[in-house]
Amino acid sequence: MIRLLALAPLLLLAACASAPTRSGFLSTYDGLTPRTDTVRAKVEQRRDEASLAQVRQVAIEPTVILNPGGWLTPGERVLLLRELDAQLCFELSERFDIDPAAPNKVRVAITRVDPTGRAASVASAAAGFFIPGPLGLRAPGTLGALSAEAEMLREDRQIVAISWSRGATAIGTDDPSLSRVGDALQFAEPFADAVAAAMTPEGLKSRPIPRPDPCAEFGARFRPEGWAAKFATGLYVPEMSGAKADKKDR
């Protein structure tokens, strides 16, 4: 309890995620409304319920990065884009048929990435071994963030739009990482969850993973070696946790 009280100011500071961006990527921002049922992320979205009710197939366009800043290396860009593409495919394929020729196009852009501090992450991981508990500690210099936008279009008309932003917290379940995009990679899954939820028609239930898996190019949907690495080191290890690299990028 003393530990949590002492770090409460850091938690409050880190929990103040930046508001979702309006980068100009979406075809329109009209009607975007803040969601009030989210805790860790800040989200704005809109849905055309009548048009969405007809959607059963989607085509997912490759994720793009807008104005990433000069710190991202080509390898980090590839890693981050690959993980976003994988998580979006995993989530949307549980609701829809994935068909490149489908009239419903899903577009996604990463609009902001804050780096995860590598040196301080080592200290954070070490602290987790000496101060056990369900919540980890993160030094302020380690806290990364991800902001992204997505929309579904049919014949260039927007059916769904979502703007999403989340930052790592000083006290919580976000794992430190030696990768500068470690936090952003971990946030790819909750972002994809939010996108899939926004794009799911009312009453449509999740379904078993199709066979063959339309997302097989990204590797296994669950990688136990990532959990093993986290247990052994206290760190998120992208090579053991994220999407399988594209053959052309190996």
- With helix as H, strand as E and coil as C, how does 147-203 read? EEEEEEEECCEEEEEEEEEEECCCEECCCCECCCCHHHHHHHHHHHHHHHHHHCCCC
Parallel, antiparallel, or unpaired: how do β-strands 57-60 and 145-154 relate? Answer: unpaired
Asked if 186 and 174 count as a contact pair (C-beta separation under 8 A), the reply is yes
C-alpha distances in angstroms, 226 versus 22, 23, 128, 132? Answer: 34, 33, 17, 20
Q: What is the pLDDT of residue 220?
A: 85
Mean pLDDT, residues 9-32: 72
Q: What is the pLDDT of residue 117?
A: 81
Q: Is the predicted pLDDT of residue 63 greater than 60, yes or no?
A: yes
Residue 94 or residue 169, greater confidence: 94
List all residues 6 or more positions away from 141 whose beta carbon is below 8 Å from its beta carbon: 117, 119, 120
Q: What is the pLDDT of residue 143?
A: 87
| pLDDT, tens digit (0-9, with 9 covering 90-100), for 191-239 | 999 999 999 999 999 999 999 999 999 998 887 776 665 655 567 777 7
Residue 38 or residue 124, greater confidence: 38
Q: Is the predicted pLDDT of residue 2 greater than 60, yes or no?
A: no
**Residue 51 burial (10 A CB sphere; 0-12, 13-18, 19+):** middle
Angle between the N-to-C axes of helices 74-92 and 182-199, in degrees from 0 to 180, rounded to the nearest 10:
30
Mean pLDDT, residues 88-92: 98
C-alpha distances in angstroms, 159 versus 151, 193, 219, 223, 246? Answer: 7, 18, 30, 33, 31
C-alpha distances in angstroms, 51 versus 96, 102, 138, 202? Answer: 15, 15, 43, 11
Residue 93 or residue 6, greater confidence: 93
Q: Is the predicted pLDDT of residue 136 greater than 90, yes or no?
A: no
User: Helix, strand or coil for residue 218?
Assistant: helix
Tokens, residue 63: 């994720």
Closest CA to 10 of 169, 202, 146: 169
Give the mean pLDDT of the chain.
83
